[in-house]
Structure 1
Amino acid sequence: MNNPLRRLALAAVAAAVGLTVAACGQVQDSSTPPSGAAATTSVDTLFGAVEVPANPQRVVALGWSDAESALALGVQPIAVSDWLAFGGKGVGPWAESLSTTSPTILPTLELNYEQISALNPDLILNTRSDNSKEKFDELSKIAPTVSAPAGTTIQYGTTWQQQMQQVSAALGRKEQGDALIAETDAAFAAARTAHPNFAGKTVGVGSFFSDSYGAYVDGDSRVDFMKSLGFVNKPEIQALSDGSSFYVQVARENIEQLSADTTVIFPIGGDASALKADPVLNQLPVAQAGHLLIIDDPVLANAFSSGSTLGTKYAIDHAVPLIAQHTAT
């Protein structure tokens, strides 16, 4: 599973159909506070308050973009899950230079608890995940585990702001995290000011994977990105959601549902040639009007999908000019 974004697609499909992925090798509860470390910080999570040690040194980042969030705060995880199949250090190019060591690369959907336990972590970050209570309980036997914030209802539905809040609180760097959130919010505000025509326009955000289409709904980082620019998720797309997933499948015969004032779509696990050659997609009203943006740069598609402060700022710099070219003035 080496193609960029393929893991993301599988996570979306798993969330949509309620797939339960078997976790391998459950461990016995042997967790104890690291020698000399005191649990001094309480972080509210989906599964209750979690006490984490001061100044954790051996951080394992399992959640989607958790590693990038830690790196943005100056903390290098000893192990990471490479959700977007970046390879190398398991993070996007906008974060890779912040990692001066080579972390252990861990599985994503199917956790290996023995491998994680053998790393002897003093903190596990799993803030953007499928929100499995079973996985949380098993991970908590190994080390304090910070999950999604309380009230999260959608799998992988932790926003980039919430992720940074959770991670910075767990790492004892809340002020630094607040500053990164403010910096990213300011970048969105500048983009809105530069492009007032985005305000109120409907958007359809979709993907193409394994010869099928899908659309993203409220609670997804890509939709949140577009809404932060002033767009409104197309109501007809949002109506397809049952509120439990960030992603809905769109049958080819219903592909017109993706047509909005502006539509952004990208391939998962392949290049954009199939999208560019699809006669049905390119006959949609949005395409005929010149307002269909096909993201054919895999780095940009990854940034657009990352949901981290670092990836989001990269997408603001590089995706917004393309969005502007495909949005009516």
Structure 2
Amino acid sequence: MNSVPRRTLPLLAALAAALALVAGCGTAAGPAPGDAGAAPAADGAFPVTIPTAFGDVTVPEQPQRVVALGWSDAETALALGVEPVGAADWLAVGGDGLGPWVPQTYRTPPTILGTLEVDLEAVAALEPDLVLDTRASGDRDRYDRLAQLGVPVVGIPAGGENYLTDWRDQLRSVGAALGRGAEAARLQSELEQRFAGAREANPQLQGATVVSGARNTLGEYAAYADGSGRMEFLTELGMTLSPTVAALPAEGFSTPISRERMNLFDADVTVMQPIGKDATEIENDPLWKAVPSVADGRGVLLSDRDVSQAFSAASVQGWTFALERTVPRLADAAAKAP
């Protein structure tokens, strides 16, 4: 178990991390909560120890200056009532990094820091006493450099490499580190109940095959892998990744799909979203329109930028926002499946 002091030490190097493909995450029983991550603790109980892929990390006392670097770490902290002093804007929302799906607001906006590349001197200047990096690449060099700050760094959980930290593990880890374990457990239960209600109200989703994909600014398509945030949302609804796509090798949290193989997107339901552009180019792409499921009216194009980003956030706030705006369309598409 590694216990680290609170005072910030001088930095020795700058951080550089790489990512293969970045977006800019009822009657039928739903997925069982994962067992990984910190167990809920009494709020405010310190010290607390959080297991991570890099070993146990001990937070000795209530953090006062939190820097949230991982995908959706900042909005997760906000959901728990803690305002980070530094944050990373993974979805390129702009401003303070909060999309309209986040009901909470900052009293003092955080310093916006890098995503793939983090300026460690800028982080150190914020004098943090806790760094959150719970959904990230899992690169050991990134973690080791952040650890040079001399403060607790709560990195990814075991198995969370390539941004595959699931929402429960992220919520529990952040909640434990902030002394808000009981509140994290409450938020988890509430979102699980929302998913259960959606499953019960839409039994046609249970067992329906699905492919969730994206088109980037270069016109390249990819399908999200099982365990990625987007697929996790759909799995929570009772849907399953198309076996054809599941059998393909993934690069990080997605699988590139060439334009010559667009039929790989075919499933009971096909979800697609644009990355970095509006949805017009997808709507007008004859290859997209020719995918059998799309041609049959079972394509769900997330053309609303806010909905698309909330779906991608894989946070309590994002998915609460996305559920009511996507489930009716997903259910209608699933009902048409042969």
TM-score of the two chains, using structure 1 as the length reference: 0.87
Partners of 1:92 and 1:177 in 2: CA distance? 21
Relative to structure 1, is the Cα distance of residues 102 and 53 closer, same or farther in structure 2, using a 3 angstrom cutoff? Answer: same
Contact 1:39 1:51 survives alignment (8 Å): no
Note the alpha carbon deviations across 1:62-90, whole angstroms, 9 max, x for none. Answer: 00000010000000000100000111111
Aligned counterpart, 2:239:
231
Amino acid at match of 1:63: G
The aligned residue for residue 29 of structure 1 is: none
Aligned to 1:285: 292
> Which residue pairs with 1:21 in the alignment?
none
Q: 2:179 aligns with which of 172, 180, 183?
A: 172
Local SS of the residue matching 1:55: coil
Summarize the alignment of residues 46-85 of structure 1 with structure 2, pairs less than 5 Å apart. 46-85=53-92
Q: Matched residue of 2:21: which SS?
A: helix
- Distance in 2, Cα, partners of 1:103 & 1:275: 35
Tell me how far 1:39 sits from its aligned partner.
Answer: 6.8
* CA drift at 1:216: 0.3
d(CA) in 2 for partners of 1:327, 1:12: 31
Q: How far off its partner does 1:137 sit? A: 1.1
Structure 2 unaligned residues grouped into runs of 5+? 1-17, 24-44
Secondary structure of 1:207 counterpart: strand
Q: Which residue of 2 aligns with 1:190?
A: 197
Q: Name the amino acid aligned to 1:71.
A: L
Between the aligned partners of 1:237 and 1:94, the Cα distance in structure 2 is 30
Cα distance in 2 between the residues matched to 1:269 and 1:179: 34
Q: How does 1:253-292 map to 2 (within 5 A)?
A: 253-292=260-299
Q: Which residue of 2 aligns with 1:90?
A: 97
- The Cα offsets for residues 76-126 of structure 1, whole Å up to 9 and x where unpaired, read as 000100000111111222225332221100011011111101110000000
C-alpha separation in 2, matches of 1:229 and 1:124 = 32
The answer on whether the counterparts of 2:214 and 2:221 sit within 8 Å (CA) in structure 1 is yes
Match of 1:305 among 303, 312, 316: 312
Would you say 1:328 and 2:332 are equivalent positions? no
Take 2:236 and 2:249, find their aligned partners in 1: how far apart are those partners? 20
Note the C-alpha offset of 1:328: 1.7
**Would you say the 8 A contact 1:215–1:249 is kept in 2?**
yes
**Which residue of the partner structure matches residue 99 of structure 1?**
106
Contact 1:89 1:96 in 2 (8 A): no
CA contact (8 A) 1:54 1:171 kept: no
Structure 2 residue 222 is the aligned partner of structure 1 residue 214: yes
Report what 2:255 is aligned to: 248
Separation of aligned partners in 1, 2:259 and 2:290? 13
Partner Cα separation in structure 2 for residue 135 and residue 287 of structure 1? 41
Question: Which structure's residues are more often helix, by fraction?
Answer: 1
Percent sequence identity over matched residues? 42
Measure the CA separation in 2 of the matches of 1:295 and 1:53. Answer: 43
Number of residues paired by the alignment?
Answer: 296
User: Partners of 2:198 and 2:46 in 1: how far apart?
Assistant: 41
Q: Which residue of 2 aligns with 1:3?
A: none
Superposed displacement of residue 324, structure 1: 1.9
Q: CA deviation at 1:150?
A: 2.4
Structure 1 counterpart of 2:167, one-letter code: W
Verify the 8 A CA contact 2:58 2:152 in the aligned structure 1: yes
State the alpha-carbon separation in 2 of the partners of residues 102 and 194 from structure 1.
Answer: 39
Give the distance between the partners of 2:249 and 2:106, measured in 1 at CA: 38
Is the CA contact 1:74–1:98 (under 8 Å) kept in the aligned structure 2? no
**Cα-Cα RMSD:** 1.7
* Paired amino acid for 1:199: Q
C-alpha distance in 2, partners of 1:134/1:45? 15
Post-superposition shift, 1:12?
4.4
- Counterpart Cα distance in 2 of 1:114 and 1:251: 40
Tell me how far apart the structure 1 counterparts of residues 103 and 138 of structure 2 sit (CA, whole Å): 27
